[in-house]
Structure 1
Amino acid sequence: MPLFEISLVISELIALYLLRYIWQSGDILFFKISYSIIAIIPFLDPLFIFWITNMPSRQAEIFQDQQRLNTDVLNRWKHVLDEKNPQRKFRFWRNMIEMNKNDDS
């Protein structure tokens, strides 16, 4: 068998493994179908699928935004933004920063 045919067979064997990997993953159906279509393309499928399916895992519930239509950022900072006096505004701002200093870590 020529080298091209051997590499094509190897590529498709890898694609079969990738299809099994894709359909056992926890991705949504749209991604599973999309990845499956990409996986059957010869030669580039292993590299591309392994690269594109390397998504970060879901965050814990506490880190997810639970409010779908609005954010809580405005609610937390509204009293600072509404303050007219610059000195009081700065104090409010500083208190909010000190209070939430470790939120990002």
Structure 2
Amino acid sequence: MACWLAWRILRSPGPLWLRLLNAAVAFIPFIGPLFAFWASDFPAPHHPAYRDNSRYSPDVYLRWIDVLRMRNESARQQRWKELMKKNHEEEP
């Protein structure tokens, strides 16, 4: 199981040093494979519209608060589409 997990970790994307370290941890008896599997299972990055772009303020909350407070479902959906389109165009 440790060999399969190390092979899986080494083929995954990410920094080489981190992959090598996680693969080495997989060979520790008993707890190693569990910890290596947990440490190597990274989530996919969020869409830029959901990311916090400012370090010192909650700009994600401020960007979405008017959408979250809307009661009309069709207007909320339209505003959501506008924000997603705007943030999709701003991607580098």
Count of aligned pairs: 65
> What percent identity do the matched residue pairs reach?
25
Runs of 4+ in 1 over 4 A off after TM superposition: none
Shift of 1:22: 0.3
1:100 aligned onto 2:65: yes
Structure 1: stretches of 5+ with no match in the other structure: 1-13, 77-96
Distance in 1 separating the partners of 2:15 and 2:33: 20
Q: Could you say what the CA RMSD is over the residues aligned between the two structures, in angstroms?
A: 3.0
Under a length normalisation based on structure 1, what TM-score does the superposition of the two structures give? 0.45
Q: Which has the larger radius of gyration?
A: 1
Select which of 56, 59, 70 maps to 2:43. Answer: 56
Following superposition, the deviation at residue 45 of structure 1 comes to 2.1
Structure 2 unaligned regions, length at least 5: 70-92
Q: What is the deviation of 1:66? A: 4.0
Q: 1:47 aligns with which of 34, 40, 49?
A: 34
Aligned equivalents of 1:65 and 1:31: distance in 2?
A: 25
Instruction: Give, in whole Å, the separation in 1 of the partners of 2:51 and 2:21.
Output: 26
The alpha carbon displacement at 1:17 in A equals 0.5
